[in-house]
Amino acid sequence: MKPTDLRFTRTHEWVYVDGDVATIGVSRFAVDQLTDLIVIDLPEVGRKLSEGKSFGEIESVKAVSDLYSPIDGEVIEVNRAVAADVQILAQDPYEKGWLIKAKIADPAQVEKMLDHDAYQKAIAEESH
Amino acid sequence: MNDKAPRLLFEKSRPGRGTDVIPRSDVPDRPLDSLLPASELASNLVPLPELGELDVVRHYTRLSQLNMAIDSHFYPLGSCTMKYNPKRNERLASLPGLASVHPYQDESTLQGILELLYDLQGILGEIAGLDAVSLQPAAGAQGELAALLTAAAYFRDRGEKRTKVLIPDSAHGTNPASAHLAGFDAVTIKSDSRGLVDMADFMSKHDDQTAVFMITNPNTVGRFDPQVVEIARALHDRGSLLYLDGANMNAILGVVRPGDMGVDLMHYNPHKTFSGPHGGGGPGAGPIAVRASLAPYLPAPIVVKRSDGVFALDYDRPKSIGRTRSFFGNVGVLVRAYCYIRAQGPEGLRRIAEHAVLNANYLLALIKEEYPVPFGDRCMHEFVASARGLARDRGIRAFDIAKGLIDRGFHPPTVYFPLIVSEALMIEPTECESRETLEEFARALLEIAAEDPEKLHEAPVTTPVCRPDEVAAARSPILIHPEASRAGIER
């Protein structure tokens, strides 16, 4: 997935929309900020997601951080490869490193998210 | 690991070298399998190392010398208030009349220690500007939990159901953990560009469901939040409570009383503020202080002075949340806090806060050109500098700076906390350090900023174990010596 095709949250998750299915991951910026990743906790298929609520955790040598769901919905697929080896996420956050796929409950929520340019601006401010 | 690492006792062991002297048994021998079921017995002999006593003594003495401690090194570990632990406290706390009493003794024989604890309750209440104190919680985080349970009991008794605890994003991680354990939802409040509570975010999240706002003031970036009075008013207008995380009391001791800020309940960390030892994982203490309206719900028992002048443990507290710790908490560390406070007196406590703030500001001024401080160049007892520029321009991260400091004989500051500052270095010198020590530390930091990044990536090089692979250590830790593993000890 090209980063320019994605929508982003201010908490550094990305979403790729295909019909009513959202693929969710975390941005390259977030991965770089976390530095060396140790382990990731992902939800089970069927788990209900709420916008802004945690759906998992990622641990690096620096800290344990929540993963926040960008949307309301339900998990329909989990990237088992990343759950088993989080280095895949470190190497390739936008392709092989996707985290979950979810059925979108409210498409309007995706519309409210940042596009690539707006996200770049937001992280430039953050690292200011 | 390199060849300077001390060998383990397992590796020094030689068969038959043990020096144990076991007296002749005065009961008849019985076979082991007649005493324990086979399922509880190991299949192999445990390979305990065999060494002479002197070898063992040297081994552990050497290990203790490899440690960094406040008695041997400057230890500016931010948020931990690594101040000197006066030896006087240790001597007094080990007096037989204090150290040898037992909680099952009759109260009439415990009058001395009860009076001391009664006085300490009063002193901590006075410093807090609050009405009632429980000394029982066994550590700061347990104090948080006990206080939040006290608040929950208060609301329950009033027939109110409140679900939310508001916590700034700069708070210690124990705050949301305590809120969650106490049955509340932890709601994060953003910090503004000054590092203070973002008032708009606070007002948008504060409603009738707010039970408690947990503030740390001064906060973890070392800023005193003057909005606290306004925050307290907004909370009280809706019947909510203001909690103070007392981790940073060292900055305001004897200068500001939390109760006067509008705080309703708080905890102390005696091992930080009142010079208790940090070492060995405890025992700690986390006394809590509350307003009169919350007093009936405090943990029981409380030390009381009866009208006949006799000190007693009061269990007759029907609204109490009950015990939070067996017996009366960790009395030894409370005795040390009492000795410290009494030795300092009110003027001494104020001087501690003033010197802690002065030391932190002096150190900040010495290093701020190389290590910018995002939330301004004035601070309270600690400050958070950022190595973001060094990381970006030279590849020197906070982590590398911490390791480089070890080679220069300093314990590193706290790194990567709080999370709101990238490449954070959280530095708290405490009031105990001399100007010369602060200057030496600043010189070391400036030297590191100019160091060859490649060299720093190898640091520390002076320690027996150099830079371990932290990712591998966290992902696949080896916790059992191969010798023990072979003998099936992991079972």
Q: Which of B26, B31, B22, B21 is nearest to B53 (CA)?
A: B21
What the block records as the tokens of A110 is 């995706």
- B274, B309, B343: which is the final residue of a domain? B343
Over range A19-43, report the average pLDDT: 93
Classified as helix, coil or strand, A111 is: helix
What is each CA distance from B69 to B442, B445, B468, in whole angstroms?
19, 20, 21
Contact by Cβ (8 Å): A25, A14: yes
| Residue B408 and residue B269 share a domain | no
Alpha carbon distance B330, B363 (integer Å): 35
Please compute the mean of the pLDDT values over residues A94-123 and round it to a whole number: 94
Distance from C-alpha of B82 to C-alpha of B272, rounded to nearest angstrom: 7
Q: Where are the alpha helices (DSSP H) in B100-138?
A: 111-128
3-class SS of residue B283: coil
Domain membership flag for residue B306: yes
Res B292: pLDDT: 98
Condensed to tens digits (0 to 9), the pLDDT of residues B235-281 reads 999 999 999 999 999 999 999 999 999 999 999 999 999 999 886 55
Report how far residue B475's alpha carbon sits from residue A59's, in angstroms, rounded to the nearest whole number: 10
| CA–CA distances in Å: residue B346 to residues B218, B224, B381 | 20, 21, 19
Can you give the pLDDT at residue B38?
86
Q: How many A×B Cβ pairs under 8 Å? A: 23
Closest-CA distance, A66 to chain B, in angstroms, reads 12
For residue A68, the distance in angstroms to the closest alpha carbon of chain B comes to 13
B180, B174 in Cβ contact below 8 A? no
Q: What is the β-pairing status of strands A7-8 and A54-60?
A: unpaired
Among chain B residues, the shortest Cα distance to A39 is held by B475
Contact (CB<8Å) A33/B422? yes
Contact A63 B470 (CB under 8 A): no
Domain ranges of chain A: 3-109
B474 and A59 in contact by Cβ < 8 A? yes
Which residues from A are below 8 Å from B471, CB to CB?
Answer: 36-38, 61
- Please judge whether A36 and B388 are an interchain contact, meaning their C-beta atoms are less than 8 angstroms apart: no
Measure the CA–CA gap between B112 and A49, rounded to whole angstroms. Answer: 58
For B289, phi and psi rounded to 5 degrees? -125, 140
- Element (DSSP H or E) covering residue B244: strand B241-246
- Minimal Cβ distance to A36: which of B388, B422, B471: B471
- Percent of chain B surpassing pLDDT 90: 81
Q: Closest to B416 (Cβ–Cβ): which among A39, A59, A62?
A: A62
- 3-class DSSP state for residue A33? helix
Q: Does one domain contain both B306 and B158? A: yes
The answer to whether A59 contacts chain B (CB < 8 Å) is yes
Provide the b/e sequence for B213-242 (b: ≥16 CB within 10 Å).
bbbbbbbbbbbbbebbeebbebbeeeebbb
Contact A45, A79 (CB under 8 A): no
Residue B468 burial class via C-beta count within 10 angstroms: exposed 0-12, middle 13-18, buried 19 and up: exposed
Same domain, B226 and B318: yes
Whole-angstrom Cα distance, residue B95 to residue B108?
Answer: 19
Element (H, E) at B425: strand B424-427
Residues B102 and B236 in one domain: yes
Q: A11: which 2 tokens?
A: 């908490």
Q: Are residues B162 and B273 in the same domain?
A: yes
Last residue of a domain, one of B319, B343, B367: B343
Q: Is residue B81 part of a domain?
A: no
Tell whether omega for the bond before B460 is within 30 degrees of 0, i.e. cis: yes
pLDDT, tens digit, for every residue of A71-105?
Answer: 999 999 999 999 999 999 999 999 999 999 999 99
Residues near B476 by beta carbon (within 8 Å), at least 6 away in sequence: none
Q: What is the pLDDT of residue A128?
A: 52
Sort residue B431 into left (φ over 0), alpha (ψ -120 to 50) or beta.
alpha
Q: Say whether both B268 and B136 belong to one domain.
A: yes
Query: How many independent structural domains does chain B possess?
Result: 3
B188, two tokens = 């994060």
**Shortest Cα–Cα distance, B471 to chain A (Å):** 6
User: What is the per-residue pLDDT across A42-72, written as a single tens digit (0 to 9) for each?
Assistant: 999 999 999 999 999 999 988 888 999 999 9
B176 with B316, same domain?
A: yes
Residue among B158, B318, B361 at smallest CA distance from B241 = B158
CATH code of the domain containing B437: 3.90.1150.10
Same domain, B93 and B191: yes
Q: Give SS3 for B134.
A: strand
Q: Are residues B298 and B370 in the same domain?
A: no
B370 and B281 assigned to the same domain: no
The three-point CA angle B402-B408-B412 to 5° equals 30
Q: Which residue has the tokens 């906790």?
A: A41
Q: How far apart are CA A13 and CA A99, in angstroms?
A: 10
- CB pair distance less than 8 Å for A61 and B419: no
Does residue B61 sit in the same domain as residue B98? no
B276/B175 Cα distance (integer angstroms): 22
Element (H, E) at B168: strand B164-168
Strands A54-60 vs A64-68: parallel, antiparallel or unpaired: antiparallel
Which CATH number among 3.40.50.1980, 1.25.40.10, 2.102.10.10, 2.40.50.100 corresponds to the domain A3-109? 2.40.50.100
Of B276, B221, B229, B275, the C-alpha closest to B256 is B229
Question: How many Cβ atoms are within 10 Å of A102's Cβ, its own excluded?
Answer: 28
- Whole-number Å distance between alpha carbons of B182 and B30: 51
Residue B405 contacts residue B451 (beta carbons within 8 Å): no
Measure the CA–CA gap between B312 and B303, rounded to whole angstroms: 6
Facing residue for A39 by CB, picked from B399, B416, B475 = B475
Q: Does a structural domain hold residue B486?
A: no
The DSSP bridge partners found for residue A73 are A49, A104
Chain B residue at shortest CA distance from A63: B416
A127 touches B at CB < 8 Å: yes
Domain span including residue B157: 87-343
pLDDT attached to residue B487: 60
Tokens linked to B29: 């021998």
Cβ contacts of B172 within 8 Å, gap of 6 or more: B79, B216, B220, B245, B247
What is the pTM (predicted TM-score) of this model? 0.88
Residues of chain B with pLDDT under 70: 1-3, 279-282, 484, 486-491
> What distance in Å separates the CA atoms of residue B128 and residue B246, rounded to the nearest whole number?
9
Looking at residue B10, its amino acid is F
At B479 the pLDDT is 84
For residues A10-32, average pLDDT: 94
Pairwise CB contact (< 8 Å): A36 & B470: yes
Q: Check CB contact under 8 Å for B471 and A37.
A: yes
